[in-house]
Amino acid sequence: MTLENKNKLFQLLETHSPSGAEHHYQRVWMDMMRPFAHLDTDQAGNAIASLNPEADFKIMMAAHCDEISMMVTGINPDNGFIGVIKCGGINPAVLPGSKVTILGYSGEKIRGVIGLDPQAKPKPAELSLEKGDLSSFFIDTGIPDHEALKKLVRRGDYVVYDGSPEIIGEDKIVSKALDNKTGSFIVAETLRKLSEKKLPVGVYAVNTTGEETNGRGAYAAAAKIKPDLAIICDVTFETRGADGKYNKPKVLFGKGPAISFGSPVSPVLNAKLEEVAQKHGLPIQLELTPEKTHTDGDTLLRAANGVPIVLVSLPVRYMHSPVEMASLKDIDIEIDLLVEFIKSFTGKEDLRPVTP
C-alpha cells in the first residue's frame, strides 16, 4: 500500500462515525471522492460516488461506514460516573479498562475509561455479545463534578472507542473501527482506479449508514440507485489457524479476501468472481453464509425486485473490540480483485441463475 493510501485510510479511521451520526465521516469520504466522481446523498445519510451514472446497467459497491458505539444514559450525581447503553454489537467482555471518547453535545470530546462496578459481578451470559447488559459499566472521565459534566455531556451523546490506527509487524494495521472503514476505503480506492478506465457500465460506491444497528442505509441506497447487482464489502473473522475441519474453513491473513457462498449470494456472480480471480492470479478464500450474511447484503437482496449480491470480506482479528487487526496486503488484493471484476462487465450480462 502506498504512503498516500495509508494516510487516506488513517484519516478515515480517525474520523468518528457512530451508527446514527455518520455525517461528519461522510463529508471526509466525499472530499476524497470529489476529484474524480459524481457525488450524491440521500435522506438516510448515505454518501454516493458514481462513474457513468447515465449508464443503464448499474453496479453498486456497498460498504457501511458506521462503527459500533455506546450512548450516554445519565450522569451519577454522587461521583460523576456516566452510564451507557450499547449502539451496535458492543462486546461487554472487552470493556473494562477500555479508553473511550464521548462526543459531547457541547462540541467537546471528553476522554474517559470504562469501569465496572466491583459489586455487580455480572454473570458470564451477561458478558456475551448478544445479551450483554451494560448497566454494570460506567465511564470515568476523571471529572467528579456532576454540574460541570452536565455542561459537556447529556443523555444521548455517542461514545466511541479511543483506538488510534497504527502499523505493527510487517503489514498489520491495528485500530478501532476497521469494521468497516476498511471497506469504506476499499470501495473508494476501487472507484478511483476505475475512473481511469473507459467503462460501459455505471459504477456506484456507496458509504452506507446504520448497518451495525438497523440496515437503513443499504435499503435506501438500493431504492435510489436500482442496481443490477451489488458487491458487499465488509469484514469477516480471521480464524488464526482453525483446526482445518471441513465444517470450519480457514480464513487467514495474507491469503486475500473471503468470498461467501450460500443462499443469500448469487451463484452466477460468484462463478464470475472466481473466474476473474483465477485469470489475474489474485488469491481468494472461501467462507459459508448458508442463511444470512449479517451484512448489508441481507437488506440489499430484498430491495426493489431483488438485487443479486456477492459478499467480499476482509479478514479481521478481534472484531467488535476496541482494537481490531487487518492485513494491508489483503486490502490491496481486494481492491485489485474488485477493479478487475467490475472491468469484466459489458452491461449485457444475464444474471439469472436459471432461464426459461
pLDDT at 243: 54
Among 161, 186, 216, identify where a domain stops: 161
Q: State whether 180 and 310 are in the same domain.
A: yes
Q: How far is the C-alpha of 98 from the C-alpha of 140, rounded, in Å? A: 11
Residue 167 lies in a domain: no
* CA atoms of 227 and 249, how far apart (whole Å): 31
Question: Do both 207 and 306 map to the same domain?
Answer: yes
Is residue 349 situated within a structural domain?
A: no
CATH number at residue 95: 2.40.30.40
204 and 333 in a single domain? The answer is: yes
**Number of Cβ within a 10 Å radius of residue 123:** 10
Calculate the alpha carbon distances from 171 to 1, 45, 227, 331 in Å: 9, 33, 35, 10
Last residue of a domain, one of 161, 188, 220: 161
Q: CA-to-CA distance for 216 and 209, rounded, in angstroms?
A: 7
CA distances from 347 to 187, 188, 195, 342 (A): 20, 22, 17, 10
pLDDT at 127: 55
Q: How far apart are CA 64 and CA 85, in angstroms?
A: 22
What is the C-alpha separation between 114 and 134, in angstroms, rounded? 11
pLDDT in tens, the chain (356 residues): 999 999 999 999 999 999 999 999 999 999 999 999 999 999 999 999 999 999 999 999 999 999 999 999 999 999 999 999 999 999 888 899 999 999 999 999 999 999 987 776 665 555 554 456 788 899 999 999 999 999 999 999 999 999 899 999 999 999 999 999 999 999 999 999 999 999 999 999 999 999 999 999 999 999 999 999 999 999 999 988 555 555 567 899 999 999 999 999 999 999 999 999 999 999 999 999 999 999 999 999 888 788 999 999 999 999 999 999 999 999 999 999 999 999 999 999 999 999 99
* Residue 237 falls in which region: left (phi positive, over 0), alpha (psi -120 to 50) or beta: beta
Residue 155 has which C-alpha cell? 443523555
Q: Is 9 inside any structural domain?
A: yes
33 with 91, same domain?
no
Domain CATH for 242: 3.40.630.10
| Cβ atoms within 10 Å, residue 12 | 23
The verdict on 249 and 116 lying in the same domain is: no
Q: Identify whether residues 214 and 327 lie together within a single domain.
A: yes
Catalytic residue among 67, 189, 211, 212: 211
Please measure the distance between the N-terminal and C-terminal CA atoms of the chain and give it in whole angstroms: 46
Whether 226 and 308 share a structural domain = yes
The answer on 58 and 75 residing in a single domain is no
Residue at a domain's end among 161, 192, 219:
161
Any domain includes 138: yes
pLDDT at residue 200, as a whole number: 97
Question: Does residue 168 lie in a domain region?
Answer: no
- Please indicate, yes or no, whether residues 190 and 326 belong to a single structural domain of this protein: yes
Please check whether residue 145 lies inside any domain of the structure.
yes
Residue indicated by cell numbers 444470512 = 292
User: Does residue 170 form part of some domain?
Assistant: no
Provide the pLDDT for residue 292.
94
**C-alpha distance from residue 355 to each of 350, 351, 352 (Å):** 9, 9, 6
140 within some domain? yes
54 and 79 fall within a common domain = no
Domain that holds residue 109: 69-161
Q: Verify that 325 and 217 share a domain, yes or no.
A: yes
How far apart (Å, rounded) are the C-alpha atoms in residues 292 and 264? Answer: 6
The predicted structure's pLDDT at residue 163:
87
Which residue carries 458487499 as its cell?
232
In whole angstroms, how far apart are CA 120 and each of 22, 179, 229, 253? 34, 31, 49, 39
**Residue 117: its pLDDT value, please?**
77
* In a shared domain, residues 53 and 90: no
Q: Measure CA 231 to chain center.
A: 13
Residue partners of 52: CB distance under 8 A and separation at least 6: 199, 201, 202, 203
211 is catalytic: yes
Q: Domain count for the chain, please give it.
A: 2
